[in-house]
Structure 1
Amino acid sequence: METKLKQLLKTIKLNESMLSMIFGVVTVLLIGILVMRMYNANKPAITADAEKTEIASEKVGEVAVETKEDGKKYPSQLPEKVTVEKGDSLWKIAEKQYGSGYNWVDIAKENKITNADVISAGQELKLPKTPIIVLEQPKTMVVGDSYTVAKGDSLWTIAVLVYGDGYKWVEIAKNNNIVIAKANYIEVGQVLKLVR
């Protein structure tokens, strides 16, 4: 019996590196399995209702919104009050809470603020549950091979109207021999060639 034990210990001693590697692989596998089971155990199940909610959720800016029966969009997680921080303006607060700076008017009205520039850090403002004001971009595009400059136009706004991309103002300038350094100098009534 003693010789068999000595022989077994001798065999183990000779194969020690192989046994260490096998134990290491088994240990890593067991730890991996335990981590996967813990991860899957903490993962909530997605119900049919949750799938519907996820599909229906929308965002305006960085704010989650919900569409009510009236067809208007409202912030879904709007706090009742907000504390003004240093450097805040009503516009910034409206952008953060509603996803649209244009709701600053609603905040001013709710808090009876007559001068929107006069708010101070630490001041508490009530946030009204009003719909989000979203300005739609003009969808009219210019068709044809020329455009007549109107009052208030710039090459950028013309490029947006013509091509749907303001960065194409450079093409308009080149096609009309307008020096890029003087691109701000276009005149009302000037006819610009458009290349499609």
Structure 2
Amino acid sequence: MAKCKYCGAEVAIGARCTYCGSKAESWYYSGEEKKQEPKKKKALHDRVRDLFNGKIYIVKKGDCLWNIAKNLYGSGAEYYRLVKLNNIQDPNHIEVGWKLYY
């Protein structure tokens, strides 16, 4: 592990920082930081399970993304996370019964 050059968080070389999103480019770090075990790739179903970790919200009558985000994340302004994660084309249109990952 190395420290992110922008925010100082721990990040694996070649991976994206979970805090600021910058990529830890190998050319930036010294030889000691580069000497780390390469990460083994997980199977697709394991990566999907890790990503969603069983967190699914089913849309009910009267729901809107703002209120769902407020309940799930504590702030309605975080609705864009639901939009991005679920590939919602129109944030103003959701339907009853949709399964939203969060």
Return the index of the structure with the highest Cα Rg.
1
Which of the pair has the greater relative contact order for Cα pairs under 8 Å at 6+ separation? 2
Normalised-by-shorter TM-score class: 0.3 to 0.5
- Looking at secondary structure, tell me which structure has more helix per residue: 1
Query: TM (normalized to structure 2)?
Result: 0.46
